[in-house]
């Protein structure tokens, strides 16, 4: 158990809908990362927050957004869902953003299926 929690574990929804994925980082970790894992794209970095502020952005679609709250949990919002958004979404956390505090610990993931 990495200490990172993600809810829900599974999510099935229809095209055009909107969903929210939630992540709680390890105790003491200030940085949260979101990744998408799909068969065709592999593991892709989406976005990073550090202590409430957006720190880095990757291949995140405009239909997707995220935020990190004062209690450090994070939410990833996916809207106007398409079949191609079906994937495993991972959250990871780390203490900080430099040196060995880069060690990222991953949650169990949320499996999203869009039908």
Helix/strand number for the chain, H first, E second: 0, 11
Nearest to 114 by CA among 90, 89, 82, 88: 82
Q: How many residues bind another protein (CB under 8 A)?
A: 28
Q: Does 2 bind another protein (CB under 8 A)?
A: yes
Which span sits near another protein by CB under 8 A: 11-19, 20-28, 35-43, 68-76? Answer: 35-43
For residue 64, the Cα-to-chain-centroid distance in whole angstroms is 10
Nearest residue (CB) to another protein, 79 versus 88: 88
Nearest residue (CB) to another protein, 78 versus 107: 107
């Amino acid at each position: 158990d990495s200490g990172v929690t993600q809810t829900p574990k599974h999510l099935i929804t229809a095209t055009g809908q909107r969903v929210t994925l939630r992540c709680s980082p390890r105790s003491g970790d200030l940085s949260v990362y979101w990744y998408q894992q799909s068969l065709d794209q592999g593991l892709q970095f989406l976005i990073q927050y550090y202590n409430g502020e957006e720190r880095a952005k990757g291949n995140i679609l405009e239909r997707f957004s995220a935020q990190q709250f004062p209690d450090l949990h994070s939410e990833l919002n996916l809207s106007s869902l398409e079949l191609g958004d079906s994937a495993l979404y991972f959250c990871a956390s780390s203490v900080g953003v430099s040196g060995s505090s880069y060690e990222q610990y991953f949650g169990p993931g949320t499996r999203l299926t869009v039908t």
